[in-house]
């Protein structure tokens, strides 16, 4: 276990007296490397520069003023933007009076809570306990961070046997690793093992998540209904239940679940954003406006403000015929988010919505063209907003601009949007005539990428070749030539550089796909033999 003298600690507290008191306590506990942040924004900036072993964070960072983020919102940002690792110890400091508000955000998983007032012995005891847990789990975390997921799973098994008091922690990590590998059946088995020993909320929630991923939505809902009766403050349960209801075609029920969750825990921006989106989809414009206003207001103090929140609010106001209110939101967007890389796109798209509402089609087209120009220049917007922009371009017969915007979505391997989903934008707009043209462009791009991959392979850059092949596969997932080339490239990489489980799984799926498309393909048998030989070479058990 790490010695206290080597620990780096960040204290996040706006009160000078409390910072001094905490430094004295930490010094008495043998911890001398202490740095400070007076609010969430300064903490984020420090964490962007370096890492800390322990973060001691006051819940009421606004000092009762209501201005700025609280500790709960800070933790949300740190986890969501991966500024702290799984091994970082995050301890929330709070008074008994607001403790219920803190634990209502259980999905954010701080390491521990310490209620004020507390003594040196109490604080050092909590830190010691957290360090013992971290020491036990560290190998599994490190292997996972290195992408060695199978080795991490094995480390969890060994760790649980060697240190049974952390068995539940190891089981949780193991299940999450199986989920990362898309092994939802294996993850569900782990969660069921835990639940057979003890009714733990996180295990029931994890089981529900795996069942949802397996399209067993009704079973997931049944677990969540029971779980939330027993654990009414397990907020992530509400979020997942809302997703289940949406998947079952019950958006009104999903909205009600999210409203209940916001009533209990009103500070989580992503939940408020989701409530706004569902409200807009169900036609509850008043609720949509209220939610998006809260998102804009609460995110104002975050280092990670998203101008798309303003766009969402503009959409709600425009549909409600509040042109004046929408104009004010756009002004606030321009004033408060200067320098944000997505500002130009969001401002132009929001203005186009406003001009459409007021019947100024010419101005709307000009703003849409400006938004597309910004996207072409690399404006950092979400795939969802770009797809909306493409739809708006199609509505105004800006076909070339719509195609350009959709190509940025389809070429983005991290967008989470498949080519088939992207093509449906044109189908749903009644523009099936454009689908074949887009398909030709994508096939041409895939051919170019195959040539680039060949060049990289000839230069000895095996990893680079595979990355390029995977890009080609993303934009042409059913192209037999791309599938064969990618499978071959992956097998070459793992043969030369070592087995990689995710790549191995991708190769197996590609071989199955090639078999389904052309069982007599001249390269199929050789690739299948090479795949099995590679597995044997590295001692990978047959599936």
| pLDDT of amino acid 437 | 86
By residue count, the chain amounts to 543
Residue from 41, 12, 43 nearest 302 by CA = 41
Would you say the pTM of this structure is higher than 0.75?
Answer: yes
For residues 231 and 201, the answer to whether their CB atoms sit within 8 Å is yes
pLDDT by 10-residue block (mean), the chain, 543 residues: 79 92 93 91 92 93 67 83 91 75 57 88 93 94 90 95 95 94 92 92 94 96 94 87 96 96 82 93 93 88 84 95 95 91 94 96 96 88 93 94 90 83 88 86 91 93 94 91 95 89 89 94 94 87 56
Residue from 41, 35, 34 nearest 70 by CA = 41
Residue 114: CB atoms within 10 A of its CB come to: 16
| pLDDT of amino acid 298 | 82
Q: From CA 427, how far away is CA 421, in angstroms rounded? A: 10
Q: What is the DSSP string of 354-415?
A: HHHHTT-HHHHHHHHHHHHHHHHTT----HHHHHHHHHHHHHTT-HHHHHHHHHHHHT-TTS
| pLDDT of amino acid 147 | 84
| pLDDT of amino acid 105 | 46
């Amino acid at each position: 276990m790490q010695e206290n003298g080597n620990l780096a600690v960040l204290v996040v507290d706006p009160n000078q007296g409390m910072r001094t008191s905490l430094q004295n306590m930490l010094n008495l506990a043998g911890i001398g490397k202490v740095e400070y942040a007076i609010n969430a924004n300064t903490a984020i900036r420090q964490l962007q520069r370096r890492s800390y072993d322990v973060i001691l964070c006051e819940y009421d960072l606004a000092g009762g003023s209501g201005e700025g983020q609280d500790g709960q919102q800070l933790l949300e940002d740190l986890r969501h933007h991966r500024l702290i690792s799984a091994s970082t110890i995050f301890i929330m400091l709070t008074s008994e009076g607001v403790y219920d508000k803190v634990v209502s955000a259980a999905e954010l998983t701080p390491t521990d809570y310490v209620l004020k007032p507390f003594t040196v012995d109490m604080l050092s005891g909590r830190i010691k306990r957290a360090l013992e847990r971290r020491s036990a789990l560290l190998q599994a975390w490190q292997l996972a961070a290195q992408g060695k997921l199978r080795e991490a799973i094995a480390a969890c098994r060994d760790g649980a046997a060697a240190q049974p008091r952390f068995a539940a922690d190891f089981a949780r990590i193991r299940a999450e690793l199986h989920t990362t590998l898309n092994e939802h059946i294996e993850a569900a088995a782990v969660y069921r093992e835990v639940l057979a020993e003890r009714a733990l909320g996180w295990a029931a929630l994890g089981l529900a998540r795996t069942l949802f991923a397996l399209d067993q939505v009704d079973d997931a809902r049944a677990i969540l209904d029971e779980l939330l009766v027993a654990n009414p403050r397990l907020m992530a349960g509400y979020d997942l239940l809302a997703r289940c209801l949406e998947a079952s075609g019950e958006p009104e029920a999903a909205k009600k679940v999210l409203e209940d969750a916001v009533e209990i825990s009103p500070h989580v921006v992503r939940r408020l954003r989701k409530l706004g989106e569902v409200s807009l989809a169900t036609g509850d414009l008043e609720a949509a406006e209220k939610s998006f206003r809260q998102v804009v207001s609460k995110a104002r103090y975050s280092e990670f403000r998203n101008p798309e929140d303003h766009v969402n609010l503009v959409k709600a106001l425009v549909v409600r015929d509040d042109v004046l209110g929408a104009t004010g939101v756009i002004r606030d967007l321009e004033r408060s988010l200067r320098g944000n890389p997505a500002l130009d796109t969001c401002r132009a798209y929001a203005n186009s919505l406003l001009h459409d509402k007021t019947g100024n089609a010419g101005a709307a087209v000009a703003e849409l063209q400006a938004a597309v120009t910004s996207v072409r220049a690399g404006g950092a917007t979400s795939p969802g907003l770009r797809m909306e922009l493409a739809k708006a371009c199609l509505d105004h017969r800006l076909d070339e601009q719509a195609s350009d915007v959709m190509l940025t979505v389809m070429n983005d391997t991290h967008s989470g949007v498949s080519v088939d989903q992207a093509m449906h934008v044109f189908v749903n707009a009644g523009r099936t005539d454009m689908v074949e043209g887009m398909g030709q462009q994508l096939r041409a791009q895939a051919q170019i990428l195959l040539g680039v991959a060949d060049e990289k392979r000839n230069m000895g850059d095996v990893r680079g070749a595979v990355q390029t092949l995977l890009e080609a596969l993303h934009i042409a997932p059913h192209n037999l030539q791309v599938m064969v080339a990618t499978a071959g490239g992956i097998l070459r990489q793992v043969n030369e550089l070592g087995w990689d489980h995710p790549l191995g799984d991708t190769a197996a799926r590609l071989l199955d796909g090639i078999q389904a498309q052309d069982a007599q393909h001249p390269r199929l048998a050789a690739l299948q033999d090479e795949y099995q030989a590679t597995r044997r070479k590295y001692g990978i058990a047959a599936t």
